[in-house]
Structure 1
Amino acid sequence: MQFIVATDGSEQSERALEYALDLAATTDAAVAVVYAVDPAVREYAADAPVASFADAENHLVIEDEGDAEARGEYVLGRAREYARERGLDVETELLYGDPVESVTELASRRDADAIFVGHRGMTPQYEGLVGSVAAGLVERATVPVTVVR
């Protein structure tokens, strides 16, 4: 069996990893933990909600790809260490582009049996503007997706 865990370093994605590792330990599944480098939008620069896409440019911080890669490597390193502490080895991989597209394409290429993802990512405001990665994975994936709260 092959499990894919999509992470962004959020508390919910850490719980998704924990859940996937618990299942992997009982099913002898291989686990790949992935982080999608999608530096276009990271977080709000202000507390006020964005009213429209035109208003968004006044409230969003744009991140460069190098910073996004560095953050991804950090998050994946933490995931590897967490798995090792539990006596498990995981493969890690940086993906590039839209998280929904890159994770579902990887799942298809690897003939994965399941995808695990946290319910909410690092920035709920960003999800409110562009949509939830978890919801996108549920809609697009051709394998079961477990969304962990």
Structure 2
Amino acid sequence: MLSGLGESFGIYKLLVYLRKCEYFSNRWWVLSVYYKFKLKAVENRFSVRIPINVFDVGLQIPHLGPIVVHPNAKIGKNCRIHVGVNIGAEKDQVPVIGNDCYIGPGAKIFGGIMIGDRCKIGANAVVNKSFDDDQTIIGVPGHSIIAD
């Protein structure tokens, strides 16, 4: 179905089905069954697992590939998430991520932590502790750097 149409079309369909799923699940569940089926087809094609009602408005996915997000995580507005990201739980505690955050390729975020607004998480960073607003987080384990 999506082969030959390009990655941009796959991203578009994923986001459309995700938002329609959220809309109809919260209002009229009958149509949500149809959109959940369509969403699962796109998710399986690109190895993406983004549950409904986790991301606020403005989700951006520049490239499709393995992305896994825990269903209880909460992510704010205008989040940009790249390939290989895993947002998961540790002992039933999940992350809360603020608005306008950038999550680089391969980043792993887990545990009952809070990431502030406008934070940037670098590629392949492993974040398991909380950070305030306007931080740039890199490394394993994740630590903040001062950006010029």
TM-score (norm 1): 0.25
Relative contact order, CA 8 A, sep 6+: which one is greater?
A: 1
